[in-house]
Amino acid sequence: MLKRLQILENLQKLILDNAESLALEAAREGGKPLLDSKVEIARAADSIRVCIETMRTDAGREVPMNLNASSSNKLAMTRREPIGPVVAIDCI
């Protein structure tokens, strides 16, 4: 998990360090106003920040047990594990 956090932190830094050029390129590519592209780039960096915070704080939950005889004296919990990257393309 540490490596994933480092990758996300590096990605967020790259986005923030290159926000102006990324916004300009996104505006050119999508034909939308530069101001809108700047908002999208800021939102992308913020989304990465949210992912980082979630990885650090959302460790899973205890599942209620002792509800019937077969679960008596049992302990169950969930553990969140990312399974890979997700890519989304907005085609509006």
Under-70 pLDDT residues of the chain: 82, 90-92
Return d(Cα 38, Cα 48) in angstroms, integer. Answer: 16
Summarised one tens digit per residue, pLDDT across range 40-51 is 999 999 999 998
What are the domain boundaries of the chain?
2-77
pLDDT of residue 91: 66
Ranges of beta strands (E only) in 1-92 are: 62-63, 76-77
* Pair 4, 37: CB distance under 8 Å: no
For the whole model, what pTM was predicted? 0.68
